Amino acid sequence: MEPKESCWVATRPPTAEAKPLTSFGLRVDVAVIGGGLVGLTAALLLARAGRAVAVIESRRAGRQVTGGSTAKVTSQHGAVYRQLVEGFGESGARIYAESNQAALDWIAREVAERQLECDFERRAAYVWTEDPARVADLEREAETAFRLGLPASFERQAPLPWPVAGAVRFDAQAQFHPVRWTEALAADLVARGGALYEETRVIDVEEGKPCRVVTERGLLHADDVIVATNLPILDRGGFFGKAFPQRHMALAGPIDEAKAPEGMFIGLDQPTRSIRTAPLDGGGRMLVLVGEAFPTGHGDAAASERRLEEFARTRLGLTDIRWRWGNQDYYAADRVPYVGRILPGERRIRVATGFNAWGITTGTVAAMILADDILGRRNPWAPLYDSLRIKPGVGGRAMLGKNLHVARTWLEDRISRPATQAADLAAGQGGVVRHGGETVAAWRDPQGALHLVSHVCTHMGCHLRWNAAELSWDCPCHGSRFDVDGRVVQGPAVRDLERKA
């Protein structure tokens, strides 16, 4: 079976064994749930301020959404600034611009001062269109971004091996190796006395003095808790109804250095293509390419991967595809992440989600806001990102539509009954089928053995869909994913699927 790891995860295997939580009833100032970029950055900032911090990570740190990203470090988030001005006014859009530039600057400073080896490279970032009818949109986007203080300009050309109709260029942006970056964050955290417990899944958190963090390996007490699990694993707060999972297929492989495009690129036209290059271990460069977004559990991941491969071959001359993977992030209905309290009445539990696939910078911003809040420092960006904001006019219709769709999916699944029997599945095939008089999720491995698990998501009971490109069971409601033996790969679910005989 082909490995489905990102080029970053595959080229940087963990150098040490995971250290799970072993002591019961440990007491810390702050428990951070989730060891991705957001959790590790927040934990490090708090440890630097003298707080006793523990990060609790269900898998290995830095290797999930962060480790599968394109890892552009930029305030250019597609063509977003006109939309932000519309939704949040000039002042809100300016705060978004300023905070994301500040996150880029902070990362650049860390790399320089600590001489971190994370393949940090300065590059210009481009949003391009090949459609003459959209050039005016990009001209206005460039004007808006420039007015907001960003290093933006409109260009008639972009350094891509095909002609463009126009592009917005942001100068002095950057890219890095996301796994090396999170390793550097974790190393500094531990050097400052912070703890990183990996392979320790958190099941629940109860607010209190102190808060109780319930893990599958024991209990931990903390004055404050940050839930940095990409989408909060805690349902109260309803973030699963405000941020929506979008999956992308990605691939990477060596490219002729002389032909490597000099910059970072994202297309305005559909299907979206995101392009960058990176140093290849052992010399030379590789191309990293990410495809269009589709809702988790709904799109055809295998078809999306095939289209991406065709683009890579015909447009960029990529023939040796060494890594293929999928990855997803949650998109906030109004394009601004939710950062802050989980509920108005729960002052000690904080969350961050809805990074719109730009969380290398927005996630760093989120970590800064949450750390400042716990340290009692005023953060001027916090009101824009407020997790409890109510802005029904902005993105409200999209949010309603998505939640109605979830409700419809839930109902339809309950009345439909699959026609296929498990016995009919060929080697390598998976699907929701009938077996022994009940409906189950089944996959027949290449050796012919059946892997049977419940087809009901342990989060809120939606029926899972087979993802043939990644061999996983994906939930069409809020994006939980499970492997062929039912283990949680990605939340919000915290419980594995029931195994079926």
Ligand X SMILES: Cc1cc2nc3c(=O)[nH]c(=O)nc-3n(C[C@H](O)[C@H](O)[C@H](O)COP(=O)(O)OP(=O)(O)OC[C@H]3O[C@@H](n4cnc5c(N)ncnc54)[C@H](O)[C@@H]3O)c2cc1C
Rounded distance between C-alpha atoms, residue 378 and residue 367, angstroms: 14
Nearest to 473 by CA among 446, 451, 449, 448: 451
Q: Which one of ligand X, ligand FES, none interacts with residue 355, CB within 5 to 8 A by kind?
A: ligand X
Closest CB 484 distance from ligand FES, rounded Å? 17
Is 459 near ligand FES (CB under 6 A)? yes
Q: Which does 56 bind (CB under 5 to 8 A by kind): ligand FES, ligand X, none?
A: ligand X
Binding flags for ligand X, 309-348, as an x/- string (CB under 6 A): ------------------xxx-------------------
Q: Answer positive or negative: Cα dihedral of 491, 39, 27, 17.
A: positive
CB of 296 to ligand FES, least distance (A): 9
Smaller CB separation from ligand FES, 194 or 431: 431
Give the phi and the psi of residue 485 in degrees, each rounded to 5. Answer: -100, 15
| Residues 54 to 73 in contact with ligand X, rule: CB under 6 A | 56-59, 64-66, 69-72
CA-to-CA distance for 353 and 205, rounded, in angstroms? 17
234 forms part of the interface with ligand FES (CB under 6 A):
no
Q: In Å, what is the CA distance from 354 to each residue of 194, 371, 387, 400, 415?
A: 27, 18, 10, 16, 32
Exactly one of 442, 480, 484, 494 binds ligand FES (CB under 6 A); which one?
480
Q: How many CB atoms lie within 10 A of CB 313?
A: 12
Q: DSSP 3-state assignment of 337?
A: coil
By CB under 6 A, residue 33 contacts ligand X: yes
Judged by DSSP in three states, 244 sits in: strand
Looking at residue 298, the DSSP 8-state letter turns out to be T
Nearer CB in complex with ligand FES: 210/354? 354
Q: Is 211 in the site for ligand FES (CB under 6 A)?
A: no
Query: Does the protein bind ligand FES through residue 462 (CB under 6 A)?
Result: yes
Establish if 493 lies at the interface with ligand FES (CB under 6 A). yes
The bridge status of strand 346-353 relative to strand 218-227 is: parallel
Nearer to ligand X, 59 or 242 (CB): 59
Distance of alpha carbon 37 from alpha carbon 119, whole angstroms: 16
Q: Which of 319, 379, 315, 370 is nearest to 348 (CA)?
A: 370
Residue whose structure tokens are 């015909």? 314
Q: Decide: 434 and 423 in contact? Cβ < 8 Å.
A: no
442 near ligand FES, judged by CB under 6 A? no
Minimum CB distance to ligand FES, residue 414 (Å) = 13
Instruction: Choose among ligand X, ligand FES, none what residue 357 binds, the Cβ cut-off being 5 to 8 Å by kind.
Output: ligand X
* Alpha helices in 192-266, H assignment, sequence order: none
Tell me if 457 contacts ligand FES by CB under 6 A.
yes
CB of 121 to ligand X, least distance (A): 13
Least Cα distance to 464 among 449, 479, 451 occurs for: 479
Report the nearest approach of ligand X to the CB of residue 210 (Å).
Answer: 18
Buried b (16+ CB within 10 A) or exposed e, 477-494: bbbbbbbbebebbbbbbb
Q: Does 160 bind ligand X (CB under 6 A)?
A: no
Q: Compare residues 70 and 129 and give the one whose CB is closer to ligand X.
A: 70
> Judged by CB under 6 A, does residue 478 bind ligand FES?
yes
Cα–Cα distance, 190 to 456 (Å, whole number): 39
Question: Omega of the bond prior to 210 within 30 degrees of 0, cis?
Answer: yes
**Is 326:265 a contact under the CB 8 Å cutoff?**
no
Q: Is 492 in the site for ligand FES (CB under 6 A)?
A: yes
Site string for ligand FES, 239-258 (x = CB under 6 A): -x------------------
Query: Is residue 248 within the footprint of ligand X (CB under 6 A)?
Result: yes
Residue 415 main-chain phi, psi, to 5 deg = -100, -10
Identify what 329 binds: ligand FES, ligand X, none; CB under 5 to 8 Å per kind. Answer: ligand X
Q: Which stretch binds ligand X (CB under 6 A): 36-44, 301-309, 455-463, 472-480?
A: 36-44
273: DSSP letter: -
At its nearest, how many Å lie between ligand FES and the CB of residue 15?
33
User: How many residues sit in the footprint of ligand X (CB under 6 A)?
Assistant: 39
99 interacts with, out of ligand X, ligand FES, none, CB within 5 to 8 A per kind: none
- Of 459, 427, 472, the closest CA to residue 326 belongs to 472
Give the count of residues interacting with ligand FES (CB under 6 A).
Answer: 13
Q: How far apart are CA 258 and CA 252, in angstroms?
A: 17
We find the least distance from the C-beta atom of residue 445 to ligand X, in angstroms, to be 25
What number of other Cβ atoms are within 10 A of residue 377's Cβ? 12
Which range touches ligand FES (CB under 6 A), out of 60-68, 249-257, 386-394, 453-461?
Answer: 453-461
Q: Which residues bind ligand FES (CB under 6 A)?
A: 240, 457, 459-462, 475, 477-480, 492-493
Q: Which residues bind ligand X (CB under 6 A)?
A: 33-39, 56-59, 64-66, 69-72, 201-202, 228-230, 233, 248, 250, 290, 327-329, 355, 357-361, 363, 491, 494
